[in-house]
Structure 1
Amino acid sequence: MLKLVKNATSNPDNQAIISDNHSYTYKDLLDSSHQFASLLLQNTSDLNETRVAFMVSPGFDYVSIQRGIWRAGGIAVPLCISYPLPSLQYVIEDTGAEIVIAGAEYAEILRPLAAEKGFRFIILPEVDKATIELKKLPNLQSSRKAMILYTSGTTNLPKGVVTTHANIEAQVSTLVKSWQWSAKDHILCVLPLHHVHGIINVISCALWSGATVEFLPSFSAEGVFGAFQKGKINVFMAVPTIYFKLISHWESLSADQQTQITDTLAKFRLMVSGSAALPVSVMEKWKTISTHTLLERYGMTEIGMGISNPYDAERKAGYIGKPLAGVKARLVDENNVVVKRGQAGEIQIKGKNVFLEYWNKPEATQKAFTEDGWFKTGDVAVVEKGYYRILGRDSIDIIKSGGYKISALEIEEILRTHPAIEDCSVVGVPNEEWGELVAAAIIVNDTNLDLKALNTWMREKMPAYKTPRQYKIVEELPRNAMGKVTKNDLKKLFN
């Protein structure tokens, strides 16, 4: 029996999920996932790693369907509910999904594709659970493939990242121990569920521990604070853009309302930020509001979480922390040689948490690993006093200009401290003379900002070779579903 299922049987009467104004126990989740597993199996005894794609809103049905796929022996392929049809079609075709499940609100989006491709199409409102004959479920080994999640595809077509049940169990159990999860915890989920942040860090860690996951029907800063003020939630995880929105809403409230929220947040056990670099300015503002120093960590679709600031020791602003228990990490240079202490290098990861393969892409899989089995993340970092500090992604955030390697993230941090700048993103744009020029897109709160004066100000803060040569004022930055700025889209603004 899978450990995620076994743990649920240990807490049958605990509250597992709150969604759509309903409360569900672990027994409800076990029963519902058994029903879905039986529905999927039909006349077979084991799906034998059949890919099952599902487009379902966050909530009880999402969780029970995902677990139903696993319990039937299938590979779960979550579809992003905000993606257009071509992106959904790419995932369905790339995985060769033979079964697709849709919530009522997504049925019409996928129906034409179902007619064209001929896959088995299950629409949730049409499922009568009462008529489903419960089947004996297969006994699964943890080495089985469990899930395919797709990379963001910022540099090329998204790749399907295959994780086994053993990978997932390693990712979850490590976080449960490191972040001290317990059955007393209650977390609010506001994250998309086609990504490890929501699936692993929030839902799986909570349900592994016998805790409660609460879902909001839709995101709003007001709704999040309203859920917090009920007094039951004590754990929260989000991306930096969500914290930015919560800060903006808090600042619009009266002094009494602000005090009430701060008093509520101060009682939380843990608050985490991830999926994108956390600006120090956001971290500091949130600490003022909540009294909490956000725990920043580092992860990827391919590894789950690999590095984290500590739960019960110093959390350093601007740093992602230290390798988690059971995870090995090292920094190497361009020749794959481990760098000397204090020097920058690419992060490489090894451990049971690391994914199995890219789906149907053996060459890409081979290129992603060293000969001795280290996964090459492509992220560049430096270790300072034992803590890893991200400098950026080698292909996106490391700008190679005039013989220098420049961290875009470092420049962004400085820009955000300017009183007229709300947010920004820095990229390298091709240049014949310099290789790349540093260019900054900025969102301002003062339309009279003098860009020449800004550049002078920047040169007082950092070496001239690091300062942007081009500035462009924009109303918003292009972002993907997880809130990461899509820098390849941003570069087009400077062409």
Structure 2
Amino acid sequence: MERLFRQAIQNPAKVAIVDQSKAYSYGELMTSATRIATFLLGEKSDLNEARVGFMVSPGFDYVAVQWGIWMAGGIAVPLCITYPFPSLQYVIEDTGADIILVGPEYEEILHPYSDYSKIRFIRLSAGIATTEPRTLPQINPNRGAMILYTSGTTSLPKGVLTTHGTIESQISTLIEAWKWSSEDYTVCLLPLHHVHGIINVVCCSLWAGATVEFIHPFDAKQVFETFMEGKVNVFMAVPTIYFKLISQFESESSERKSAISARLNQFRLMVSGSAALPVSVMEKWQQISGHYLLERYGMTEIGMAISNPYDGERKAGYIGKPLPGVEIRLVDEQNVEVPFGEPGEIQVKGPSVFKEYWGKPTATANAFTADGWFMTGDIAVVEQEYFRILGRDSVDIIKSGGYKISALEIEEVLRTHPAIKDCGVVGLPDEEWGELVAAALVSDHALDTKELTTWLRERIPAYKTPRKYLLLDELPRNAMGKVVKNDLKNLF
């Protein structure tokens, strides 16, 4: 991971991180990370891929701890700061963590491990003792670096092990594709136990020698206030954040709206990912900011693989084209490449693909084809050279009456209805049809579902029209804003 640390060595005075209005230089980051690495090592010369779980709030301490783990030769296991204890316990015990490092806010929830003899429990509140400088281990790119857990929307979460080389490939690909530079200044609003926050925002900005400001917890008004300071020029978020920012914008005065829009128009890059971006949100944000959001496609297992272009046409509803160094193919159920224009499963190959599912050799073997392609389970089609996601085979592709129906396509149409704020479409088991198309709707108005069905049939074929509806106050979502479809099915 030497390339990630290069800016800290070469430009120690440059501001790397801002959190809670305090600025930290690259030199301070490197000093703190080195001290943590030395402390973690103790009498050892190398942690030799020991798993180190850490639960630390987003900001300077989080990055220093993560860097320190890598520098000491450990495997970083970020723990979600909003998870209940059973979910944390699952990750800690599944990885067999040897060390837990915890920030003061999370000591209570992880207290059961504080006197557990098999785990070294380190409290940041107690301070990291300063020890004599020492030679840190040389880290081979093929060694394990990080374990992130899948969102678990379809099964128990699996630990995705990436190597130092994998992470370097994921970062360098985005540095090239999205033209990161040391002049950039971004904000991080995203959870730091997922690729989007860790790799796309934090690691890319620090690799490039840019500055990243952490805003935690998320507050739409504070985000706009930070934007108005005039430093931020790169912004990445999930669709739910853009939705909340739009709501905040609409509550502002006309004068304030004009000022915010003028400022947003000066940004270099705005990206949306981690969940499908409704075209309606993209269009509204373009009206506000002057930016057509760059949509991209990635997973915990592969980092980012497909992206709309930095320069060139960005198409609403499309994830773009393969990123540099990433091989992509679409195949049918027999693993045969489909003809151009036909839907197929996205499969990925390249140096940015993960090494294995931690402790799950069978799941790892089942995730790859015999010739080494990772099977994403996502169905897409290529139209005019741009990939368009139809959905996840297990949850978004509904097999009804002999048809394969994209739930995402129906959701996009439903969101254009003036009375519908949000929606989720699923397939429900049915003896006659195989699966029935069902839609959960969020609305502030009383909806007449018969009228809605009539409205839909003017826009989509009858076989795609939902047969069942459910009205909800909100949809079940995970930490990255994705609708948890299995939970949604249970609500029916």
Q: Using structure 2 for the length normalisation, give the TM-score.
A: 0.99
Q: How does 1:17-28 map to 2 (within 5 A)?
A: 17-28=17-28
Q: Distance in 2 between matches of 1:424 and 1:182?
A: 38
8 Å CA contact 1:274–1:296 kept in 2: the answer is yes
Q: Distance in 1 between matches of 2:434 and 2:105?
A: 48
Shift of residue 136, structure 1, vs aligned partner? 1.5
8 Å CA contact 1:304–1:354 kept in 2: the answer is yes
2:239 is the counterpart of 1:240:
yes
Structure 2: state its 5+ residue gaps.
none
2:339 is the counterpart of 1:343:
no
Shift of residue 154, structure 1, vs aligned partner? 1.2
Q: Distance in 1 between matches of 2:352 and 2:280?
A: 31
Letter in structure 1 aligned against 2:478: N
The aligned counterpart of 2:325 is 326
2:453 is the counterpart of 1:468:
no
2:31 is the counterpart of 1:31:
yes
Q: Distance in 2 between matches of 1:222 and 1:7?
A: 32
Shift of residue 139, structure 1, vs aligned partner? 1.0
Shift of residue 472, structure 1, vs aligned partner? 0.9
Q: Distance in 1 between matches of 2:215 and 2:448?
A: 42
8 Å CA contact 1:89–1:113 kept in 2: the answer is no
Structure 1: state its 5+ residue gaps.
none
The aligned counterpart of 1:220 is 219
Q: How does 1:78-97 map to 2 (within 5 A)?
A: 78-97=78-97
Q: Distance in 2 between matches of 1:493 and 1:140?
A: 48
2:375 is the counterpart of 1:389:
no
Look up the SS of the partner of 1:43 in the other structure.
coil
Letter in structure 2 aligned against 1:243: Y
Q: What are the Cα deviations for residues 34-84 of structure 1, in whole angstroms up to 9, with x where unaligned?
A: 000001000001000000000000000000000000000000000000000
8 Å CA contact 2:113–2:121 kept in 1: the answer is no
Aligned-residue identity in percent: 66
Q: What are the Cα deviations for residues 244-268 of structure 1, in whole angstroms up to 9, with x where unaligned?
A: 0000111111111111110110000
The aligned counterpart of 1:41 is 41
Q: What are the Cα deviations for residues 397-448 of structure 1, in whole angstroms up to 9, with x where unaligned?
A: 000001100000000000000000011010001111111100000111222x
Shift of residue 141, structure 1, vs aligned partner? 1.1
8 Å CA contact 1:2–1:142 kept in 2: the answer is no
Look up the SS of the partner of 2:413 in the other structure.
helix
Look up the SS of the partner of 2:389 in the other structure.
strand
The aligned counterpart of 2:142 is 143
Q: How does 1:93-172 map to 2 (within 5 A)?
A: 93-116=93-116, 118-129=118-129, 131-172=130-171
Q: Using structure 1 for the length normalisation, give the TM-score.
A: 0.98
Q: Distance in 2 between matches of 1:464 and 1:207?
A: 51
The aligned counterpart of 1:2 is 2
Q: Distance in 2 between matches of 1:167 and 1:116?
A: 33
Letter in structure 1 aligned against 2:147: I
Look up the SS of the partner of 1:162 in the other structure.
strand
Q: Distance in 1 between matches of 2:162 and 2:45?
A: 22
Shift of residue 196, structure 1, vs aligned partner? 0.2
8 Å CA contact 2:342–2:382 kept in 1: the answer is yes
Look up the SS of the partner of 1:115 in the other structure.
coil
Look up the SS of the partner of 1:109 in the other structure.
coil
Which contiguous aligned blocks of 4+ residues in structure 1 show a shift greater than 4 angstroms?
Answer: none
The aligned counterpart of 2:491 is 493
Shift of residue 9, structure 1, vs aligned partner? 1.3
Q: Distance in 2 between matches of 1:132 and 1:111?
A: 27
2:356 is the counterpart of 1:362:
no
The CA RMSD over aligned residues, in Å, is 0.9
Compare 109-118 and 426-435 and name the one that shifted more: 109-118
8 Å CA contact 2:52–2:77 kept in 1: the answer is yes
Q: How does 1:49-68 map to 2 (within 5 A)?
A: 49-68=49-68
Shift of residue 7, structure 1, vs aligned partner? 3.4
Shift of residue 116, structure 1, vs aligned partner? 4.2
Letter in structure 2 aligned against 1:234: N
Shift of residue 450, structure 1, vs aligned partner? 1.1
